[in-house]
Structure 1
Amino acid sequence: MIRRPEVFDDETPPPDLRHREAHVQELIRLLHRARSDHDQGALLAGPSGVGKTALGRTVLQEFAREFGTRWVWIQALGTTTGELFREAIRGAGGTVADNAPNDELPARLRETLAGEELFLLLDEADDIAGTDAVGQLTSVPGVEIVVICHEPDDWLARAESGVRQYLHGGRIELDRFGVDELADILRDRARVGLVDNAVTRDQLETIADDVAGVAREGIQTLRAAAEIAVEREHGRIYDADVDDAYERARASIRKANLRSLPFHHRVLYELIRDAGEITGRELHQQYEEIEEQVYANRERTPISRRDRRNKLDKLRAYDLVERERLDHRWLYSTKQKNLSSGIELVTEMATN
């Protein structure tokens, strides 16, 4: 049934950017402008699973191949400005020690580039708004930035004025796909990844409609339906297999999302999971009670309440945590009780 399972992996680029042609052309236009004026970046925005990363990586790869420019994809979630500089230096072909002083990094990046251009694709960059990371990176001649985030208005509101000006006019927002559009995308994956005639167009449209046009969820639901069909020894995907695939797909996506999150997010997640249900005030109190033990002997340091709130928003955006109003308080709980972050907070608390 499943001929090429890698076709359904998040890391596998799509065969083409179907139904994103206008966004492709707009991003290419912005990259050309960045090369000529050096005062224009791009901001790719939209909800999770609509193809922001695929768009950025595919266009930059083709652009670099055609014009001989360097580019680096960096997962910016949970990173510091110094770490971003180190990733940029290494991606540009240079070497830098992890303990190199931050104030030396811009000069090191400039020396590495030696007048060449470097495009940085900063993925999951919600946290770096307001840190001046983009401003410091673009102060190095030849460095241009493409930012990927979820909420563009919020991101720009928190950014410095110079960064807002740099990204002004470079905003590209991706919406969810229509039913027919997503069904086309799923058909492309099915043709390559599944045996012939494994799934019908009606089933693909049903999946596309039920996942509300979110490509990632649609692709993972198709994979899950095929897996269930194999387990049930079906020769093709039945409607019942599709019906039972949604929760498996969501669980798979949650697991991947949690695995991709930095330490701070997983600490907060595990506190919520351990409690079952917990108010925002109790969550902050428990975090502050355990932070000394949990962060001991780690490079990371505990984060502020404001930063914690931002991390909680990310947990909700990733469908890991839900929040409801309870008597003027927020009550948090996890979506999947048996999904562990791998951090043994209970043990650490009990032994300290």
Structure 2
Amino acid sequence: MDNKENVLWDGGERVLWREQSSAAAGHNVLFARLAAEQPMPASLDRLAHELALKDELDSAWAVRPLRLVRENGQVSLAFEDPGGEPLARLLGTPLEIGYFLELAIGIAAALGKLHQRGLVHKDLKPAHILVHCADGQPRLTGFGLASRLPRERQAPEAPETIAGTLAYMAPEQTGRMNRSIDSRSDLYALGVTFYQMLTGVLPFSATDAMEWVHCHIARTPLPPSARVEAVPAVISRIVMKLLAKTAEERYQTAAGVEHDLRRCLADWQRQRHIDDFTLDEHGTPDRLMIPEKLYGREREVETLVSTFTRIVETGVPELVLVSGYSGIGKSSVVNELHKILVPPRGLFASGKFDQYKRDI
């Protein structure tokens, strides 16, 4: 890189930098370059996919891709430059509440615009959010995994191979919740991002991929207000609602999040205090969202779960048969085991998780 290049973020897989133009050359341009000399085909596919979305992305809320650039054996994706810097560069210590609310409102609004276009980001995180842009509005980027499907399933895979960023990944994206990925999966990642903005740390810490999966599907994080006393209780509740394990218990839309944050900011600016109120009263989805909860099969599911837990704890094999007419829902019952297979739920409470990881 020469002295006209300014690295904004090095994420390991790819590097984001701003190439500063001379007065004669015109506007600055952002580039995302794959760091590996011989990148994996999947990494190249993500750049191409992001470029293919350019006509569906609005420069008012997204960093729009322009073209692929191949130079000196390396592949980069060029973007319009709205100015600003990745949110990730601001994190590490708790943000002041008023400042947090101003940033969070803009981020929620941008995410809402993305969802209105029928897109699900699937990799929302601070490194993929530009703040302090020239017009003061945040921009989203990092659309290499974005989906045009309103709902899709993640197949159970080894945690190390799941596409996305595990620290910000919704439980259903791990493939172990028997639940579909939709726009509310992005809201979980938004909750992780807000948690980090408010506290300076992630809601969970883990040492490997499997432990990240365990955290998202089984552990409840300490509320932000319990970590940082200055965080108002209402804002803490907003974040914890975003971090709900099932999508039905989260905010249903980014617009609902934005509305509640704006109410918080109005109270904060007026009285340096936020009055309590009912969350997500204005979060009615703009499309039909059919709940994926399994009803009327609690006894059968509990039999499978208790049997599986007993096998893991005793080491004695057992055979369980699930029978019934075709179409009665046998697969749905069995699929409820996904959320506890890695690692078994029985080990969560017993404190044997670390031993389980060593054994496998």
TM-score, structure 1 as length reference: 0.24
Task: Report which of the two has the higher share of helix.
Answer: 1
TM-score, structure 2 as length reference: 0.24
Structure with more contact order per residue of length (Cα contacts < 8 Å, sep ≥ 6) = 1
